[in-house]
Structure 1
Amino acid sequence: MASSPPRILIAASGTGGHLFPAIAVAQQLPDCKIEWLGTANRMETSLVPDDYPLNIIPVEGFQQKLSPKTLKIITGFITSIFKTQKLIKEHNIDAVFTTGGYIAAPAILAARLQKIPAVIHESNYIPGKVTKFLSRWCDVVALGFAGTSQYLPQTETVHVSTPVRSQFLAPQALDLNIPDDAIVILVTGGSQGAVSVNRLVRESAPAWFDLGAYIVHLTGENDPDADSLKHPNYISMPFSNNMAGLLQRANLAISRSGAGAITELAFTGTPAVLIPYPYAAEDHQSYNAKELADAGAAVVFKQSELTAAILQEQVSEYLRSPELLQEMGHKAKNLAITNSAERLAKIVRKLITNN
C-alpha cells in the first residue's frame, strides 16, 4: 500500500516579503499535501487559494501601547493558537514551515503543543520579534543573511539566503516598447509602493531622459500623482507580475531594501540605488541594504537626507558609466545563493523523515 504524502502547514501572511519565499518553497514540495495559514484581507487571499487551501485565523500584530483594542488582539491570538492546533490535528500535519511575521507565533506554538517539527525562515538581517522570542522552539532557524546569527546567540541557525519566485530561475520575456540598446532604470517601492521615492524620481527624471534612459516606474496603488509624468521614455504602472523580467532587463534599480528586494537584485545581478524604508521595524531595511553596499553592488541613501538633486546626480553618474554599472552587477551576482528554496524544502523533508 502506498504511503500517504507528507503534510505540511505553511504559515505566511501579509506582504510579498513573507509570501513569495514561502510560495517558492511550496513549489519545491510538489509531492506534499500543503495547507496554508493566513489572515483575512492580506495578499495571501489573492495569491494562495488557486494553489493551496487557505485557512484564515484572526491573529493580529501586537501594538506597542495598551489600547481598547488590546484585549481583542490577545483574544484573537489565543483563538489562533487553538484553531491552528485543531487544523494540525484534523489534517495530520507532519511539520510547520513559516517565514515569520505575527502569523508565525500561533503556528510555532501550535506545532510545539502537537509535538511536530517547526522551521522558521528569517529573511531580514535584523530578526523580527517573533523570530527572537520563538526561534528556540523551532527545530531549524534558517537565515537570509549569515550575519543574523549574532542576534540569535542561543539558537542554532543555518544560512540559506532567501528563496525567490520560480520566474527568476529562467530568462523572462518583457513585453514593453523599449529599444534593445536602451539603458533602463527600474523604480520600485516594494509590494506597498513608496510615494516619497516616487516624488524624488519624477523630479529627477528629466535629466535621465536627456541621457537617453528609459524609466519603468512601479508606483504602487496609493500614489495620488502616479499619472502626473508623461514622456515617451517613461512607463508607469502600479505593480508588475514580471519582476524577474524587469530586473533582468534593468541596468539600474532604484529600490527600497526589503529582504526580498535585496535577494532579487543579487539574483539578477542588478546594481542599485537603495533607499531603506525609514519606518521599518528596528531599521532592518538599512541593515539589509548594507549587505549590497558593502559588496560594492549598491549605494545607499537615508530617505531623510536624500533630495531630488542628490538622486539626480548619483543616477546620472551611473548612466554615464556603463562599465561601473556592469562591475556593480557582477558584485551583486556574487552574493546570490541560487538554490535557497531547494535547501529549505530539503530541511523540511529531513525533519519529517526524522520525526
Structure 2
Amino acid sequence: MARPKLLIAASGTGGHLFPALAVAKALPDYDIHWLGVPDRLETQLVPGIYPLHQVPLQGFQGRNPIAQLRPLGQLLGAIQKTRTLIRQEGIQGVFTTGGYIAAPGILAARSLGCPTLLHESNALPGKVTRALAPWCSQVAVGMAEAVQHLDKKTGRTIAVTGTPVRPEFLGPQALDLAIPEDSPLIVVMGGSQGAVALNQKVREAIPHWLETGAWVVHLTGTNDPDAHSLSHPHYVVLPFYDNMAGLLQRADLAISRAGASALTELTLTGTPGLLIPYPYAAENHQRHNGDVLVKAGAAEMISQGDLTGDRLQKLILDWLGNPTKLKAMAHQARSLAVPDSTEQLATLVRQLIPPTHPN
C-alpha cells in the first residue's frame, strides 16, 4: 500500500525547521520529502531522516530593481524545479513553515492543483506569508494576534494552533548540570546564533546576581570572543546546550531574544522571561512576538538600545527578591502554552492529504 507523499518546505533557522521536523515526526505513515536551500541549517538536520531537495534561493533585499533581478530569477527557477519534483515524486501536498522557501513550494503546488498548508509562527506574519496565504488551502498561526494580518486576505478560517516544539518540552526532563535545587537559576540565551551585544550587557550584571547566591547558565553562541572572560563557580558558560527543556524547567527566569520558538518554549516550561528582541529581525517581528507575552503578564521587554548593565542587574535582582511576582509570571506563561500544537498541525495535514487505507 503506497503511503501519501508530502513535501515539507522549511529552511534557514531553527524557528522554521524545528516546528516542521516536529510535524514530520508526527506523520510516520507519510512519505516525506524536504525542500531546502544549500548551506542552511536543513543540510545538517534533514539528511539521513528525509530526502532533501535543494534549490538555490535568496530573499528579496532592498528596493533597487536591478538588485532584485537575481533573486527573481532564482525564484522562477526554484518554482520550476519544485514543479518537476512534485510531478516526478508524485507529491500529493505541501506543508511549509514560511520564509522565502515557502514561495516556490506554495506557487508550484498551486500551479499543479496540490493542497498546501502554511504555518506562520510569528505574531506579525512574514512578507511571504502575507503575500501567499490566499493561495494556500489552509493557513495556521502560532499566535492569535497574527490572524488580524491575514484573515481578510485568505478568505477562509485560520487555525490558531500554537507552534510545535521538540517533544522533550512536553514532559519533565532531568537537568545534568550540578546546580543545587535550592539555588535561584537565571538562564541567558541569545538564540541559535548567540547575541554578542546582549552577552556584553549581561556580563556587566552577572557579578551582582552571583553575589546573592544565584546561579547563571549563559548560552553565548559560538561567535562571542569574550565568552570566557568571566569565571565563577556559580557561572556556567556554554556556546549552546542540548537539554533546553530541562534547563528552562529548572530556571527561575530567562533572559531571551523573542523569536517565536523561544517564546513557545518559555510558555511550555512556565518560565518568566525578560525579553530583548533582536533589533535587526525582519520588520521588527520579535517585538511583536514579545508584546504577546508582555500583555499576558508572562514577561517584560526591553529594547536592546535601551539595555544597560546597570538596568539589567537591578531588574533581575528585583525579580529574584519577589518570588510572588515570578510565580504569577510563570502562571501567565503557562496559560499561553499550546502543548498539542504538533498534533493539531498533523491533523490538518491529514485532512488535506488523507492517509491511504486498504479497501
Q: TM-score range by the shorter chain?
A: over 0.9
User: Deviation at 1:86?
Assistant: 0.9
Render the CA deviation track for 1:107-144: whole Å, top value 9, x for unaligned.
Answer: 00010111110011010011101001111000111011
Which residue identity does 1:230 align to in structure 2?
S
User: Deviation at 1:166?
Assistant: 1.1
- Are 1:283 and 2:281 matched, yes or no? no
Q: Counterpart of 2:207 in 1: which secondary structure? A: helix
Distance 1:326 1:28 in 2: 33
Distance 1:34 1:288 in 2: 30
Query: Are 2:142 and 2:163, in contact at CA under 8 Å, matched by a contact in 1?
Result: yes
Q: Alpha carbon RMSD of aligned pairs, Å?
A: 1.4
Q: How many residues align?
A: 353
User: Deviation at 1:95?
Assistant: 0.9
Which residue identity does 2:303 align to in structure 1?
K
Distance 1:354 1:158 in 2: 21
Render the CA deviation track for 1:313-336: whole Å, top value 9, x for unaligned.
Answer: 000011112222122111100111
User: Deviation at 1:70?
Assistant: 3.6
- In the alignment, which residue of structure 2 is the partner of 1:205? 206
Query: Are 1:271 and 1:332, in contact at CA under 8 Å, matched by a contact in 2?
Result: yes
Query: Are 2:194 and 2:221, in contact at CA under 8 Å, matched by a contact in 1?
Result: yes
User: Deviation at 1:281?
Assistant: 1.4
**Structure 1 alignment gaps of length 5 or more:** none
Higher alpha-carbon deviation: 172-181 or 251-260: 172-181
Superposed counterparts of 1:108-127, under 5 Å: 108-127=106-125
Superposed counterparts of 1:145-160, under 5 Å: 145-152=143-150, 153-155=152-154, 156=156, 157-160=158-161
Distance 2:48 2:296 in 1: 39
- In the alignment, which residue of structure 1 is the partner of 2:20? 22
Render the CA deviation track for 1:74-118: whole Å, top value 9, x for unaligned.
Answer: 222111111111111111111100000000000000101111100
Query: Are 2:133 and 2:153, in contact at CA under 8 Å, matched by a contact in 1?
Result: no
Distance 1:106 1:246 in 2: 38
**Structure 2 alignment gaps of length 5 or more:** none
Distance 1:241 1:11 in 2: 25
- In the alignment, which residue of structure 2 is the partner of 1:302? 303
User: Deviation at 1:354?
Assistant: 10
Q: Counterpart of 1:55 in 2: which secondary structure? A: strand
User: Deviation at 1:69?
Assistant: 5.3
Q: Counterpart of 1:229 in 2: which secondary structure? A: coil
- In the alignment, which residue of structure 2 is the partner of 1:13? 11
Query: Are 1:211 and 1:319, in contact at CA under 8 Å, matched by a contact in 2?
Result: no
Q: Counterpart of 2:354 in 1: which secondary structure? A: helix
User: Deviation at 1:279?
Assistant: 1.4
Superposed counterparts of 1:34-45, under 5 Å: 34-45=32-43
Higher alpha-carbon deviation: 66-75 or 303-312: 66-75
Which residue identity does 2:27 align to in structure 1?
L
Give the alignment's TM-score, normalised by structure 2. Answer: 0.96
- Are 1:131 and 2:129 matched, yes or no? yes
- In the alignment, which residue of structure 2 is the partner of 1:192? 193
User: Deviation at 1:280?
Assistant: 1.2
- Are 1:351 and 2:352 matched, yes or no? yes
Query: Are 1:214 and 1:233, in contact at CA under 8 Å, matched by a contact in 2?
Result: yes
- In the alignment, which residue of structure 1 is the partner of 2:101? 103
Distance 2:355 2:246 in 1: 40
- Are 1:53 and 2:51 matched, yes or no? yes
Q: Give the fraction of aligned pairs with identical amino acids, expressed as a percent.
A: 54
Distance 2:58 2:127 in 1: 14
Query: Are 1:59 and 1:73, in contact at CA under 8 Å, matched by a contact in 2?
Result: yes
Distance 2:272 2:18 in 1: 22
